[in-house]
Amino acid sequence: MSKTQDRERFVVAPHSRPAFARYARLHEDRVRDRFVVLAPERAYEIDAISLAVIGLIDGESTVAQIASRLAARYGAPEDVVARDVTALLQGLADKCLLRDGPDSFTPPPLSTLATSYAPFAAGPAGLLAELTHRCPLQCPYCSNPLELERPNVELTAKEWGETFRAAAAIGAMQLHLSGGEPTLRRDLEEILGYAVEAGLYSNLVTSAVMLTRERLEALAKIGLDHVQVSIQDVIPQSADYISAFEGGVAKKRDVAIWTREFGMGLTINAPMHRQNIDHLPKIIDFAVEVGAQRIEVAHIQYYAWAEKNRAALIPTREKFMESVKVVDEAKARLKGVLNFDFVIHDHYATLPKTCTGGWGRSIVVVTPSGKALPCHAAQTLPGLVFDDVRKRDLGDIWRNGSAFNAFRGGDWMKEPCRSCERREIDLGGCRCQAMAVTGDAAATDPACHLSPDHARFAALAATEAHAAPPPFVYRRMSGAGKETV
């Protein structure tokens, strides 16, 4: 595929020959009794009619032929079927999941391990595996805990393999191989092999600075589906300052381009803050230039390292509003070329986010030493006990673990959440943010305008964002004691 073709929207026409890109595929989700299309960081539910269409896309049949076959099968008017088929396929194409003609890459096999785990059938959709906390970068907003885990406590590749099988068996479909920097694991290839065996859709979340072309190609051959390259900025001097690492931008550009060359999905992950927010248009251009299908523009949440550095990172409301405009304009301009995930700034919100899809509802995080967490910042909450996947079955932890049940459902809620009509929608927001700001993990997320702490929360942003930024407290194995200008 030429670079130009890669960057154009695929407009589905009667003569098109649609096929899934290597990084998207149909999957039978037996735990939830449904079919989904697995894609970068997403699982799109497919109804029976869509399933009939998708079963016929093979990169050889034209849209007109597919419509004709379906019209004959169901005794329906061909023009009506053609219109519906085109609309469905255009929707998938605009999510960057289809290509015109077959993909030369063969996708990895699907899981045969997922079984219903009654009576708690709603298993996690995803597993975030923090393979190591080691990282050559020192981002001041890193979501890892202040007390980073040492290499000598890390799970072995075999132990990760057992964890992956256990996760797939209770319904996990997506696996995020994360860190720290996961490529620092010399046995990453073996670990990925276990993920492919378990049939998980694999996503490598990486700073990319340690990857070589040869290693990335080897990972693609083992069956890696998707790479998420995190960037600090695209202006080299600024990126070097934010990450305390020299020369990262050029390396990330290479890795991103190789990722597409090897047929894998690519997301650019761009955490947003006051020290890079002015470069957002250039960051979006970078994502297009390297061939990404997705970009995450995520305003930072302030806990762990980010909380330490809040005054250095928090943008003004005006800058935040500008970023909303930039993303809205780019979304319209780049429809079908680049998909956006935009995480808004909590201090300038009036309603909270449904954090991690709800506590103990959609994701399980496992730390390098094997602690199972309901969200990656859960260790900032006092009094919770986190089970070890080496000592207790993951399904049992998910279903019965005390930390997973601490904020499930709504019994833990206080007013105003307890009697609020949105309690089933946002589930009271983020527990870690509530703890960081109010000192009470069961309080209403202060991002909510109904929280008694909301005004103080918003005022704090206004004060800090207008003052000169202090020096960063860089993320270090040795903890948060040292400051660097």
Which parts of this chain interact with ligand SF4 (CB under 6 A)?
135, 137-139, 142, 144, 179-181, 207, 230, 351-352, 416-417, 420, 422-423, 426, 428-429, 444-445, 448, 450, 475
- Measured from the CB atom, the residue of 392 and 422 that comes closer to ligand SF4 is 422
Cβ of residue 327: shortest distance to ligand SF4, in angstroms? 21
Cβ of residue 412: shortest distance to ligand SF4, in angstroms? 12
- Measured from the CB atom, the residue of 93 and 298 that comes closer to ligand SF4 is 298
Cβ of residue 304: shortest distance to ligand SF4, in angstroms? 10
Helix crossing, 213-222 with 188-197: angle to 10°? 20
From its phi and psi, is residue 420 left (phi > 0), alpha (psi between -120 and 50) or beta? beta
- Measured from the CB atom, the residue of 138 and 203 that comes closer to ligand SF4 is 138
- Measured from the CB atom, the residue of 56 and 351 that comes closer to ligand SF4 is 351
- Measured from the CB atom, the residue of 360 and 429 that comes closer to ligand SF4 is 429
- Measured from the CB atom, the residue of 34 and 361 that comes closer to ligand SF4 is 361
The set of residues, in sequence order, having a beta carbon less than 8 Å from that of 470 and lying 6+ positions away, is 311, 312
Cβ of residue 175: shortest distance to ligand SF4, in angstroms? 17
- Measured from the CB atom, the residue of 154 and 445 that comes closer to ligand SF4 is 445
Cβ of residue 374: shortest distance to ligand SF4, in angstroms? 18
- Measured from the CB atom, the residue of 50 and 230 that comes closer to ligand SF4 is 230
Render the burial of 57-84: b for 16+ CB within 10 Å, e for the rest.
beeebebbebbbbbbeeeeeeeeebbeb
Cβ of residue 350: shortest distance to ligand SF4, in angstroms? 9
Cβ of residue 232: shortest distance to ligand SF4, in angstroms? 7
- Measured from the CB atom, the residue of 90 and 207 that comes closer to ligand SF4 is 207
377 to each of 122, 140, 442, how far by Cα in Å? Answer: 22, 15, 15
Cβ of residue 3: shortest distance to ligand SF4, in angstroms? 28
Cβ of residue 102: shortest distance to ligand SF4, in angstroms? 36
Q: Which residues pair with 272 in a beta bridge?
A: 299
Which amino acid does the sequence have at 415?
E
Rounded to an integer, what is the distance from CA 413 to the centroid of its chain? 27
Cβ of residue 233: shortest distance to ligand SF4, in angstroms? 12
Nearest to 89 by CA among 115, 70, 113: 70
- Measured from the CB atom, the residue of 198 and 363 that comes closer to ligand SF4 is 363
Q: Which residue has the tokens 């927001």?
A: 429
Rounded to an integer, what is the distance from CA 143 to the centroid of its chain? 13
